[in-house]
Structure 1
Amino acid sequence: MVRPCPASRLSFSFFSILTLTLTAGCGGGGGASSGGDDPPPSISAPTIDSIDLKNGPVHGGFPVKILGNDFSSGMQLTIGGLALECMHVLDSSTVVGVTPPGLEGLADVKATNSKGSDTLEDGFEFHEGPWQLCGMQGGKVNAIAVDPSDPLVMYMGTDAGLLKSTSGGKQWSPLLEDVDSGTARVRIISILIDPVDTSTIYAGRYGQLLKSVDAGATWIETSGGIKAGECTAFDPSDSRVLYAGGFGLYKSLDAGETWTQIDSGFDSNAVRVVVVDPFETDTVFAGTNDGVYRSTDAGDTWVRVDPALGYNSGLALDPLVPGHLLAAMSGNLYESSDWGGTWSLVEDGLPSGSDLVAFDPSTPGSVYVARSGSMYKRVAGSDSWFPINSGLLPSSIQAIGFDSAESETLLVGTFEALQASTDGGLTWTRLDEFRSVPFVTDVCVDPSTPDTVYACSSGSAQKSADGGKSWVTIADAQLLSSSVFNFNAIAVDPINGDLFLGTSHGIHKSNDGGESWTDKGLSFVTRIVINPLDTTIIYAGTQISGLHKSTDSGDTWVRVDSGFTGERIMDVTLDPVTPQTIYASCTGAESRIYRSLDEGATWTQASGDFGVWVLDIEIAPLQPQTLYAATYFGGLFKSSDMGGSWTRIDAGFPTTAVFGVAVDPQDPSVLYASSHYALMSSNDAGASWTKAIDAIWTAYLPGSSHYLGITFDSLDSDTFYLGTTAGLIKTTTAGL
């Protein structure tokens, strides 16, 4: 929604009133599933007929449906050599899932089971999209690593980038800011710390490996053009010897300076796991999309040793017992005690699904498995697995780690969080609470320096000085030393830069960019609007006590909502030409819009009873007589006479729940409206609409992504920010 001051801002008090129930990602760690049904007793080789959507973003997360024949549980399906994520076999002719990340261009779609395979050549095309992650998002945890010399130093690879903690996970800061534009916000899927020199760290992306020699302060690309980074491993006897897998398997003898491809004989070049035997370091195992391979000469030659033809989702070597390993293959878990010479099925107590596997480095015989969104453990002397989920957030588990060989701390990364257990999985605590950003509640852009962006979520307020590439927390419950539990609104004074933050505890003011805050009273504040011509005048809407006004920059407040039929203020906006004119939406016995022509001294009704919450009021900047009103499950309305009459204009919307509306500050015929799973755009002032963006672009974010509102850059209307229930995204091309 566009505001006169700050020049363009999104605010959404609706989310301080209604808590959305979010579903976290997808279960089963990205492997095949058919709702728990057993595989059919006999199967045939699968065939692929078509894919419903033939192109999508390179960052993945694009929902697709593949049609064909003889699909079954345990089947593997890849796009561009990487496994289809969140895969579910609906029936023998239909598979659904979301695309993995890929390299720009055409990619094959391949289905494989124990009877054979079929390939749809060039069946899908990866391309760059108009939207980019802009921080503030949760993002699933893909990799975890702990400094072996200091357990307080931890690294976390997420869909939102690489993060570092020096406090044992209590606080985190982003890394990779210096590599290239936007790198800090791309998906990191592997982390490797040099056990000899722990300041040397490798971070893998799909098709790229990055290296730091100063504990993450600076980074260089060390992959030398190889398409690897998904998995990495050291030779335990010589940390200069490095293996990297992804689109092939590669080896370096000089700490990543040069590389040699060593996957000759592999049936698939998609390498998902590589592990080096700690007892016989010339013995190396590689898990691929179609099997497990073993080399006894450091990668010069390979033999296939997998127990069952199919996709390898997990592979682990026991660090305490020579020759002992586990392999997750096509939905089943197998165990070997002779370096893969023979295998046995070890499924007792486990549900169906794919796995991540890890041996406890300090307790002989203890093994952990992640399956179907849960953790399981097997102890020495037992053949059965038992669940260890007390306090574990239900979500697809993406990574398992330990803080050191001497510690009992077990780490688990999911679609939502990083969690830890210090008692072998009996209980769990969350280490990355700051990353719990279920939705972005408000955004404002400083009109004097448009690269300065402020945003708040349910749990904090943050600031970016680089257009959303990186963020620092400027307020949370601890910093404010109060009982704050919701951060709902944020505004910046366009003249002096003072910040105003609306929370469940009231209004807080900072005159030093968020370094310190002063409590300014009120409670359950959901809206803050500053008069652009006289910034000492501020309006604050609340959830429980109506609309308030300050004429002294927030030091004192008076109530100014005489005649309203309720006390819950949903939105407040000022006329950009004559800010003495104010509109406010209020919900109580009725849901109406009210208009004041004298700065709130008196009010008249500017609408009838909508019957649903009016979440957002927008004034066309160049046509102030034109208003738009977004309602919750009531649709989108337009008035051309300052609220005298209203017409519904949301034909073609996927839902009547419209969260926000915005008018291009330079072209009043261009509109955007945000709703469940779609951003709609209009080039004719609302007469017709098209989808500017839908859930395909943010399906990879945690939870169900609802588009909440739009905040324009005041100097460039092609640049705007879109707040969602799963984070903040940005376009610099008007979404095109």
Structure 2
Amino acid sequence: MNKLDFKLLLILVILFLFGCSSSNDEITESKKPLELSQNEIKSTGNQQSNNRQPSELINFNPEDYDRKCMIDTVGPQKTFEIYQSNKIQENQISEISQCLMSDSDKKSDQSQINNSDKKSDQSETDNNDKNFNDAEKCEGKDLDEAGLPLTPKCNVIPTPLLPGIKKANLLNIKLPNPNYQTPINKCQIFKDKKCAELKWERTSDVMAGEFTTIEISRSNPNIIYAGTDSNDMTMYQSKDGGNTWKLVHVTGHNAGLAISPVDPNIVLYTNLEAAVQRTMDGGETWKGVVGAMITGTKNNQPFTAIAFSTDMPDIVYTSALRGDTRGGIWPAEPSDIFKSIDSGKTWKQVGICETCSSIQTIVVKEGDSNFIWVSADGGLQFSKDGGNSWSGNVIPYLDEKAKDPQNIREHKPPKVIGVDLQPGNPKTILAASSEYGMFRSTDGGLTWKQSNSGLTTSKLHRVKFAISNPNVAYVTTHNGVFKSDDSGKSWTEHNQGLKLKFVSSIAIHPTDENIVYVGTLNEIYTIHPEHKNRGLLSDGGLYKTINGGKNWTRSDKGVYEAKIAQIGTHPLIPFNIWVGGESGRGNFFSPDGGSSWLFSASITAHYPMVYAFNYDFPSVLYTTGWLRTGELTASTDGGASFYTLTHKLDEGLSTETRKLGLRLDGPTDFHIHGVAVAPSDSNIIYVGSVHDTVYPNLTFNLDGAHIWKSSDGGKTFPEMSNGFPIETKTSINAIFVHPKDPNIAYVMTSLHETETAIGIYKTTDGAQTWFPVNNGLDVFTNDLQMDPLNPEILYAATESGIYKSTDGGNNWKKSSSGIPKGPVIDMAIDPLNPLVLYSITADNIYRTQDGADHWYATSFGIPLLESSSKPLSAQERLLGRLRLDRTKTGHSEYGGTFAQDRTLEIDATGRVIVVAVKTKRNDRNRNAERVLYHAVLTPLISTTYQYKINNSNIDITSQSNIYDMVFDTNNNELKFIAAGPTSTKSKTTLIIPSNLMTGEYQVFINGAKIPSFSENNQVTFEHIHAGNNQVVIKTN
């Protein structure tokens, strides 16, 4: 082969590789089979787990079969997969033959549905509009106007199992039946004269790993700053080279960061929702210097990139978008250019880049502070006159790609995210594009060539040259970090120890090119909204290398989510906890009571409200939040992916609502809060809205408070508010459904993000009519709990204390003995012993063990803030006795240790209680945090599980959360995860069918053999939880 032939072959191979890597915008992190970071109930994909060929898939009509029978026969997971795809393997038909319904059964079933919704004003949509869980590209009609998925078709594709690995399907999970234990009227355990029945401890740190920027001080490299785009944490600082970090400022979503090249005390960072912030004292104090807060304009411009001139350190440039856009806008919108000549103290707009849209990076040319380069949605551009005029995109290839019909349809810009100039030789430039790899110029930007040799992805993020060795450059990508030793001509992968490869921000030590810091970023919403690292992922954070990327280690001690807003627990699965943060970029999930956390990137978790779970299909959950079109979302894969249902609420609005003019003009932008799934029928879902009066500048398009009900599992949501005063400016905060009768439900109103509360409303006819049940009740309610043994018993937390009803809400009596007079913010009820409840006031946490007859404080281990002399309720503040304080997210502020509803929850076994704890009284204090504490009661409660592998059922009784079970036919091993709170003891017994494994069993926990007892086909072992424990059972 001659040289020309070899070059042509090499080009073809490279084009093929990049063509494949560019075919899918959604990036999933590869996981080992036993390290699937997804909810234990969900399907792990369509992979073949055995060597047999599956029988042919045939159409399945769900209306012909009884769903409850299906669940009992093949399990909830398999039933859900069949119902989602409307396909079934031909050889499975005989297995479910007993579930086939007669014509009379169908008519009866349909009659119930019709009767329950007969007063709805909206007809149901065509039931043939199926939700397929196909592994196809998510685009076009699969997305709404905001780019959010509309169906499970957009779900992340799970990692296939390896050959010979068979996935076990969960058939059943059962907790012990609840029962009333002997009532106790006071605390039984004391320590230091305090009730110590509950020993509260911090959970493990919750962290999204959403790092937008990292900068190292040139004049003092021990000083490092890292900015985040998650949960309003904003800015962290390290003074010891990244060994430890502290939160130094909180405003909102950080985008850019710059440290003075000569003074480490002068730092500036940009913000998407506030003015550019500046410190002159090393982060002790901060001040807004340019932006809406300074100019007094109504709407703040999102400021993005910022950079100092390295040889004229008084000169700084920054950029801002128009309106409230966040990037990813195409055709291009203008970006305003600002300049400071006094190290960021004062600013002046110097120009407009008409075709830039969102600017990601600014680089000031060495030796010429008027020459600046920017990477932007509009490509790579430069200005020679200090930002006054602009070149337009200088990489023609990107302009040509932007003209592709598909890119035009999808409004994809010729985006460049990173740019850097070689130190000492500014004619050599590297530009990292978002879709098409690296571009390199050696003539100052006149000509460009792709420079992708060694890269395994074309989706690039940031690129940096090393100051200490200008031939060295690093680039962050979807697939990790790549290093060049020849100024960007070729690249090598350097990812050893980098547990999460979706990285973006990067900083190189100014005097040692081998010391590098990178930050993960699962959803680059501020700069790269079309790309997400989806799934339930772990190991996000800051990483450091000291040997040029040969090895990476975590370097983020002290970094954690500082603004926990909402908590939810799964009603069936032990130790499952969901958490959302203010202004978050995703949901946090713990399978072990808070000992470890996974993160699911999704902007649907922006200001989360409520988590609700499906009782038939435990991998299905619903959330309400506060982001346009994402106010009601659902997940069918255990929280790995979410899709929006908000448009269905709009479609289901009643004629009365529209006639009254409550549906305002504009896109679907509702404020949704309460959501609940009927425990006895998961097809039935109730949803409630909020009339938001806290944020007059926001454009919510639905006034009043409304109730929707779905009777078809979320396919339609007709409004069913008859009897409820929908014009009231209130919040439907909580919804509870009777555990056995889905026609009985309660909606509770509150002052949350609104101006009044009207107590509790009830339906007994499936939402056809609603009526108030407030006799004797303080109508300023905050939470509602229902006794699972006797649903006629209800507990309500109100602004004046706790009330109890024993007749389904018809009558209420005060039941707050032991709790100081004042508001009770939230409650939680033990699902297995309903005489036990927990409640929080502004200043303490309380427990009752006799059905609310007696309460006592039990906060041992929680750093309570100093008690306020007279806690004032939100009601008193609203009535004008004191101005009603609100945080920037609109939650009521009581001025104590505890903040609001949905911040106190209990797990399915009643053994893990979780609460969000404030560190400052005033939530508007920039240093105020909300962190998680949990209390674990022992001994743990046993749960029974039944898994199925082919035709073999495995029965398990365990005090652990058992999930991710597989059978390895290659090594004849049964593998699963046994999770629980760290340091707690668990006992597990498995009955393994002999056709699966025979012989004397051996048990290994995290690779180490432990004592076990085997008899016949049964094995029992005990172990101490270390969060997630990998269990392997094999035979001699």
TM-score range, shorter-chain basis? 0.3 to 0.5
TM-score by length of 1: 0.46
Greater Rg, structure 1 or structure 2?
A: 2
Of the two structures, which has the highest relative contact order with CA contacts closer than 8 Å and spacing of 6 or more?
1
By percentage of residues, which structure has more helix?
A: 2
TM-score by length of 2: 0.33
By percentage of residues, which structure has more strand?
A: 1
